[in-house]
Amino acid sequence: MIDIKNVSKWYGSFQVLTDCTTSIKKGEVVVVCGPSGSGKSTLIKTVNALEPIQKGDIVVDGTSIADPKTNLPKLRSRVGMVFQHFELFPHLSVTENLTLAQVKVLGRNVDDAKTRGLKMLDRVGLMAHKDKFPGQLSGGQQQRVAIARALSMDPIVMLFDEPTSALDPEMVGEVLDVMVQLANEGMTMMCVTHEMGFARKVSHRVIFMDAGKIIEDCTKEEFFGRPEARSPRAKEFLSKIL
Ligand code: ADP
Ligand code: MG
């Protein structure tokens, strides 16, 4: 589903990603972790070409992001992305937030978009809030709306970049529950997160990054079960979180 091939990227003269290679199969849930500044957000943003790469290629469901013929807006519309900050439109109601991109990007008619959006809102348990504005919802509720909005676009894969790290602790669980449910339903997911409980429970694989490189890419059983077999940086990371 996602093939990341020898990806390198620079911000000016600073090399942020160095020769990153991995792939994610359909239905696989991959957790990306590593210290702050190691390039996790940058890597995940390259997958839907929100950040350009200078070397290598990424192929999403058969479409190469490096191919100049690729229609990037079309590709992006199929890749759901949920960020740390919910980035809902504050001046639009929940329902309007759910329908806007469906109408503008996918060309759906308003009624179909609304039906689809509300179905996804129901899935994240927030139907009762459909007419509210983002500012009237808690952080956890806003993040669940952001997930419902991404799902409304019928994504083939969902990318998450620390979706719970800006939330008050008591709201982390409700967002993780939605992610667990998605994972159990077979959604292909690439999740940057420090929630190791989530990683242990539902991920299939763990990627550990350090200084712009993928230095571990293994099953969760290997990652959590055999820390002694990990690289020194991953071992140090694990010793702090386990
Ligand atoms: P992580 O998500 O693992 O914390 P990031 O991908 O956000 O890491 O950042 C990796 C490195 O790239 C950091 O050193 C960060 O300061 C740098 N960086 C991120 N975005 C930019 C940018 N737009 N311009 C220049 N440097 C950046
Ligand atoms: Mg980040």
What ipTM score was computed for the predicted complex, to two decimals?
A: 0.97
Q: Given this model, what pLDDT does residue 86 score? A: 74
Pocket probe mutation, ligand 1, options 8, 9, 11, max atoms within 8 Å of Cβ: 11
Q: How many CA atoms lie within 13 A of 37 on its CB side?
A: 3
CA angle (68 as vertex; 37, 31 as ends), nearest 5:
30
Under 8 Å between Cβ of 161 and 41: yes
Q: How far is the CA of 72 from the centre of ligand 2 (A)?
A: 23
Residues 164, 234: Cα–Cα separation, whole Å: 22
- By the 10 Å C-beta count (0-12 exposed, 13-18 middle, 19+ buried), 240 is classed as exposed
Q: Coil, helix or strand for 99?
A: helix
The reported pLDDT for the residue numbered 24 is: 97
Report how far apart, in Å, the C-alpha atoms of 192 and of each of 30, 84, 117, 200, 234 are.
Answer: 9, 10, 25, 14, 15
pLDDT of residue 227: 85
Q: How far apart are CA 104 and CA 78, in angstroms?
A: 14
Residue nearest to atom 1 of ligand 1 (CA): 37
Distance CA 96, CA 184 (A): 28
Shortest-distance ligand to the CA of residue 43: 1
Compute, in angstroms, the gap from residue 42 CA to the centroid of ligand 1. Answer: 6
- Give the chain's residues under pLDDT 70: none
Tokens 């179905």 sit on residue: 119
Q: What is the pLDDT of residue 179?
A: 96
In this structure, the residues whose C-beta lies within 6 A of any atom of ligand 1 are 11, 14, 16, 34, 36-42
Check: CB of residue 94 under 8 Å from CB of residue 129: yes
How far apart are the C-alpha atoms of 83 and 92, rounded to whole Å? 19
Residue with CA nearest ligand 1 atom 14: 37
Q: Which atom of ligand 1 is nearest to the CA of 41?
A: 2
pLDDT at 59: 97
111 Cα: distance to centroid of ligand 2 (angstroms):
36
